[in-house]
Amino acid sequence: MWNGSGGDGHLHKQSMALRFINIAVFSDRTFFYHQKWYLLPATSCIFAAQREKHFKSEMNVSCDMRCDSPGFTAKFGTYTTIDTDTQKVIHVEVVQKDECPNSPAMELEGLKRTLSVLQGYGVTIKRLVSDRHSSIAAFLKSTTIIHYFDAWHIAKGIKKKCIKASNNKECDKIGKWIPSIIRMVYWIGNTTQETEDLDADGELRKQKFQSIYNHIRGIHNHETTLYPKCLHGELEPRDYIQPNSKAEEVVSNILNSPYLLRSIKQLSPTIQTYSNESFHQIINHFAPKMHHFRFKGMLARTYLAALHCNENVGRPQRVNKKGDTEHSLWYSRAKKDWMAKKHLVDPTFVYAINTIEMAMYMAKTNTKGSYYTAEMMCDPGTITEKLPKPDKTDFVAKLISRFKH
């Protein structure tokens, strides 16, 4: 029932294949009729009922947005909110591009809608972790929410700049210190826990991070009050970055950037957004970026991905007949080395059975469309239907004239 994704989607291909071997199949119109009036409202109803069970009076959440296409051409932005204590998806918002001035503004709009919905259910957000989106950081300053930045996003930005700088022959030593710099980012988050004085916590994180600039130059005593020296012991001789060199100048511009140092102050000590990134991979199974969807279809497929995620999150590791946990080897292209991967038990699909039963109940009771949720009813419509449609004759004449000259 979920294979239809437009005229050139899976439905069209599968129906052509079935008709080719003379197997009777319903028409595209019949398929989309049942999907619109039964399957879409059934999915939204099931997700809405399950979502309310995960709400608490006070929550710590991680938020991130997934765009349905790369770059600045996205039509939909899916803003997901996950409870960091249970790793359950508690809310999703689908924002269409024409509802905002541009694609980057969709993330802030998704956050505003999310906070409004959660506030309506009596949920108070105590801590929120996100990427370093500047508009979100500025917006949350006016709230009582403790806002943190995800360590992976900060480390990714630093690594990208360092790799680019190390391609210069005079700065090749920077490349040797990239793993140490990245590990330092995660170490700062793990060793600087939250206290009642958030400003002091941020200053300690900043001074710890500033020490790495001295460390890679062979300086282990620092002119800072909260972190005066490195915690390691005596080190063997290393290939440090030499003072007054081109490499020192470049790495100083990267690590001592005022914007980066402000971000380090908000480095998350515990909660991160890795669950959101994993959930976005699940959405790709239900709503591939290679296909086009309308608003209700995109929202319902995101609900379906959330139901699958919530049902199977925290699956235990598979155990063999001897009682040992199972692992497999896979090659990491990022680390360029082999790594062990846990074998988890097979996922379950109870949510799919519940959705089908709900759709069947709606069909039997002839209550089509009556179970649409408020989010599903707020359909902004397609982008083109809001534009005045020109006369096709003029454009056909222009097309033909191109071949005459």
Spell out the domain ranges in the chain: 173-258
Residue 1 is predicted with a pLDDT of 47
Question: In angstroms, rounded to a whole number, what is the distance separating the alpha carbons of residues 242 and 223?
Answer: 19
CA separation, residue 289 to residues 12, 93, 280, 282 (Å): 17, 17, 11, 12
Residue 6 is predicted with a pLDDT of 45
Question: In angstroms, rounded to a whole number, what is the distance separating the alpha carbons of residues 352 and 311?
Answer: 11
Burial class (CB in 10 A: 0-12, 13-18, 19+), 107: buried
Residue 102 is predicted with a pLDDT of 82
Residue 41 is encoded by which pair of tokens? 């409202």
Residue 396 is predicted with a pLDDT of 81
Length of the chain measured in residues = 405
145: amino acid identity, one letter? I
Residue 213 is predicted with a pLDDT of 95
Tell me if residue 89 falls in helix, strand or coil: strand
Residues facing 76 on adjacent strands: 96
Residue 403 is predicted with a pLDDT of 58
Q: Pick from 278, 306, 313: which is nearest to 375 by CA?
A: 306
Residues facing 221 on adjacent strands: 229
**In the chain, which stretches have pLDDT less than 50?**
1, 3-8
Phi and psi, residue 296, nearest 5°? -65, -40
Residue 335 is predicted with a pLDDT of 78
Residue 61 is predicted with a pLDDT of 97
Non-local CB neighbours of 1 within 8 Å, separated by 6+ positions: 31, 34, 35, 39
Residue ranges in 230-273 assigned as alpha helix (H) = 246-255, 258-265
Q: pTM, whole model, 2 decimals?
A: 0.88
Residue 70 is predicted with a pLDDT of 66
CA 395 to chain centre: 41
Question: In angstroms, rounded to a whole number, what is the distance separating the alpha carbons of residues 340 and 213?
Answer: 33
Tell the residue number behind the tokens 């990267």, with chain if given.
254
Phi and psi, residue 404, nearest 5°? -80, -30
Question: In angstroms, rounded to a whole number, what is the distance separating the alpha carbons of residues 89 and 80?
Answer: 7
User: pLDDT by residue (tens digit) across 266-302?
Assistant: 999 988 999 999 999 999 999 988 888 889 999 999 9
Phi and psi, residue 344, nearest 5°? -95, 160
